[in-house]
Structure 1
Amino acid sequence: MAMGLMKRLDERAALMGRMMRTVGADDAMPSGMMLETAMRKAASRCLGCERPADCAHWLEAHEDGAAHAPDFCPNGDLFAAWTGQAKA
C-alpha cells in the first residue's frame, strides 16, 4: 500500500509541476510565508483529483503552453490568480 501511495504522490507532483509550467504559474508564484501554505493546499487538491488521466492528456495537447488550466483542474483558480488570469 505504501508503494502505491508513493507512486500516486510522485505522479501527482509531476502533473502539478507540468500544469504550473504550462500555464505560467511557476513563474508567477507569490513569495513569502503564504507560498508554503498555498502549495500544500494545491498539492492536496491535486492529490485528491479524480481526473489525472484527463490532466495528462490535456498537458500533452498543450505542450507549448496555455493561458489557463482546464476547467476540471482543482487548482485552476489558484493558478489563474497567480498569473493574473482570474475569471471575473
Structure 2
Amino acid sequence: MLIIVGDDPERIRSEAAFAKLWSARPIPASSGTTTRHRLNRGGNRQANAGLHRVVIVRLPCHPPTLAYMQRRLAESRTKRERSSAV
C-alpha cells in the first residue's frame, strides 16, 4: 500500500483524496428525497483489493472494526446497501 502512495504523494492532499485513491470513497447517487451512494469504480484496484483483505482479517479480532461494521449494517436500508457498508 505504501508503494502505491509513494508513486505520487503530491496527489494525497486529504483523507478524501486518500480514500479516492483506494476506491473506498462512495459516490453520491441520490434522486429526489432518496439519499444513496454507490461504489467508486475508479482508483487503484490492487490497492482496493489489499484494503479489502485488511478489513476481512481485522473483522473477527478487532473490536472497533466489528463495532463499525455492526453500526453500518444497522444504518442500511436495503440488502444491496448492506453489501457495500464495509
TM-score, scaled to structure 2: 0.29
TM-score, scaled to structure 1: 0.28
> Over alpha carbons, which structure has the higher Rg?
2
**Taking CA–CA contacts closer than 8 Å with sequence separation of 6 or more, which of the two structures ends up with the larger relative contact order?**
1
